[in-house]
Amino acid sequence: MDSRRDRHENVSVERALRDYADRNPESRRRHLAARRVLPGGHTRTVLHHRPFPLTFVAAHGATLVDADGHEYVDVLGDYTAGLLGHGDGRVLAAVHEAMSTLSSVGGVHPHEVVLAELMCARFEIERVRFTNSGTEANLMAIATAQRATGRRTVLVFDGGYHGGVLSFAAGPSPSNVPHHFVVAPYNDLAATRASIAEHGDDLACVVVEPMLGSGGCIPATAEFLRGVFESTRKAGAVCIADEVMTSRHGRRGLADLLGVRPDLTTYGKYLGGGFSFGAFGGSADLMDQFDTARPSYLGHAGTFNNNVATMVAGQVVLGEAFTAGVAEAHTARGEEFRADVAAVLARHELPVSVSGLGSMMSLHARATAPVSAAEAAQRDPALQELMFLGLYERGIYTAPRGMMNLSLALTDDHLALSLDALDAILTDLSAVSRP
Ligand SMILES: Cc1ncc(COP(=O)(O)O)c(C=O)c1O
């Protein structure tokens, strides 16, 4: 980018940020007040963006309402956790009824078994255990593999995200747990095989997202995933698929769609129907290490692991709202929408692309859709920010980094509005970028 265009875009970004602040005085006031007690004014870093995040005060279906009274079509779907949309009556009724008779049980109760049965049947796993988050699910899956193999090395991928303490975007995070991690390049089978060969003797497990979610909605190729699992097993290590985001794809999740079978899988997000959720599961062989009938069982604690609200909400999700048939249809709907987004992008000469699979996708301010985290990082930050702010101004809520996750509550009209808004912002940006 030449410096003239650079200056030009900076002016546009500054103006867009100013307009945003002017449009949202009450959110700004609340943000400044929040900063006095919450560092940065938030308690989930990904929700922060310039100049300040909006405060949402109400939500229904696929609509979010902010503190200044603006309404937004929610195309972000809480980073995949909001699959059902806001205020699903079935979840609310079931949780209300269950919690009227059972809450903070401090003991075993029937709801956890029902959800476990639903999960085992749906995802074709033999055993499952519940946690409070996807992060914990991954920590426990790693512990399961380490204990089973007696090894300690964990192979992960560049751009992978498995939780706040298991983050490998732009290098390992200082908040990461102190495991011995080896980081391989995503979608690069030869380099990953070389890494597995190098660390094979001490390799406990490979943890892989079948599609990099936070890393830019970059699907693994089937060949990559198959090859990684094959080499991992050959090395005597455990294959862990992190499907915290991607279990929504197809009837059994993305690993299954890509034709591979993990030894352990981790789950989270939407499966809790809006409540905190995580789970890990797989073969009886690995999971029965937690069987307390064994003298040397592996312990797994967590006050809220079997909390009634989540256990009941999860039953509504898997048993009623997001059956295997609905999941397949939703994946197909996402494919159609991504094609529609690509068609809008093709009408403009700006370097913007879309990546993803099924109902998860991401806009990238770069000419071609990335196939690795390194490629995803090579984008035009000003254009990315202008797209985000422009969509916001037109009533469409996406992630600042471009992520969009379709919920079941989005109607065809909502999707059409989103496409129109994208077309409009790209038209405006094309006019601005012309010398
Ligand atoms: C692939 C993946 N794994 C794990 C996690 C962590 O889940 P949680 O935020 O529930 O701890 C996330 C969260 O975004 C994720 O995207």
Task: Choose which residue among 242, 269, 360, 401 to substitute to test ligand 1 binding: the one with the highest number of ligand atoms within 8 A of its C-beta.
Answer: 269
Nearest CA-CA partner of 67 in 92, 39, 37, 32: 32
Atom number in ligand 1 closest to CA 79: 14
Would you say the CB of residue 334 lies under 6 angstroms from ligand 1?
A: no
Residue 287 has pLDDT above 90, yes or no: yes
Centroid of ligand 1 to alpha carbon of 267 (angstroms): 9
Atom number in ligand 1 closest to CA 132: 10
Q: Which residue minimizes the CA distance to atom 14 of ligand 1?
A: 163
Q: Which helix (H) or strand (E) holds 360?
A: strand 360-364
Would you say the CB of residue 243 lies under 6 angstroms from ligand 1?
A: no
Centroid of ligand 1 to alpha carbon of 266 (angstroms): 9
Would you say the CB of residue 242 lies under 6 angstroms from ligand 1?
A: yes
pTM: 0.97
Q: Which residue minimizes the CA distance to atom 4 of ligand 1?
A: 162
Say what the pLDDT of residue 419 is. Answer: 98
Q: What is the mean pLDDT of residues 103-112?
A: 96
Say what the pLDDT of residue 10 is. Answer: 78
Q: What is the mean pLDDT of the chain?
A: 96
3-state helix, strand, coil in the chain (%, to 5): 45, 15, 35
Atom number in ligand 1 closest to CA 246: 1
Say what the pLDDT of residue 264 is. Answer: 99
Would you say the CB of residue 209 lies under 6 angstroms from ligand 1?
A: yes
Would you say the CB of residue 157 lies under 6 angstroms from ligand 1?
A: no
Would you state the structure tokens that stand for residue 38, as one six-digit string?
């919450």
Say what the pLDDT of residue 4 is. Answer: 55
Which domains does the chain possess? 3-75+329-433 (3.90.1150.10), 89-321 (3.40.640.10)
Residue 2 has pLDDT above 60, yes or no: no
pLDDT band at 434 (very low <50, low <70, confident <90, very high): low
* Terminal Cα distance for the chain, rounded: 12
Q: How far is residue 248's CA from residue 407's CA, in Å, rounded to a whole number? A: 11
Q: Which residue minimizes the CA distance to atom 7 of ligand 1?
A: 134
| pLDDT per residue as tens digits for the range 311-329 | 999 999 999 999 999 999 9
Give DSSP secondary structure letters for 38-62: SGGG-SSGGG--SS-PPPEEEEEBT
Q: What is the mean pLDDT of residues 22-40?
A: 98
Centroid of ligand 1 to alpha carbon of 208 (angstroms): 12
Looking up tokens 């862990």 gives 240
Instruction: Kindly give, in sequence order, each residue whose CB lies less than 8 Å from that of residue 36, ignoring residues fewer than 6 positions away.
Output: none
Task: Choose which residue among 44, 162, 218, 357 to substitute to test ligand 1 binding: the one with the highest number of ligand atoms within 8 A of its C-beta.
Answer: 162
Would you say the CB of residue 213 lies under 6 angstroms from ligand 1?
A: yes
Q: How far is residue 268's CA from residue 128's CA, in Å, rounded to a whole number? A: 12
Atom number in ligand 1 closest to CA 134: 7
Would you say the CB of residue 158 lies under 6 angstroms from ligand 1?
A: no
* Axis crossing angle, helix 412-433 with helix 324-346, rounded to the nearest 10: 20
Centroid of ligand 1 to alpha carbon of 6 (angstroms): 35
Atom number in ligand 1 closest to CA 135: 11
Residue 239 has pLDDT above 90, yes or no: yes
Q: Are 285 and 291 in contact (CB under 8 A)?
A: no
pLDDT band at 170 (very low <50, low <70, confident <90, very high): confident
| pLDDT per residue as tens digits for the range 43-95 | 999 999 999 999 999 999 999 999 999 999 999 999 999 999 999 999 999 99
Q: How far is residue 325's CA from residue 156's CA, in Å, rounded to a whole number? A: 32
Centroid of ligand 1 to alpha carbon of 162 (angstroms): 5
Instruction: Kindly give, in sequence order, each residue whose CB lies less than 8 Å from that of residue 434, ignoring residues fewer than 6 positions away.
Output: none
Centroid of ligand 1 to alpha carbon of 244 (angstroms): 6
Q: Which residue minimizes the CA distance to atom 2 of ligand 1?
A: 162
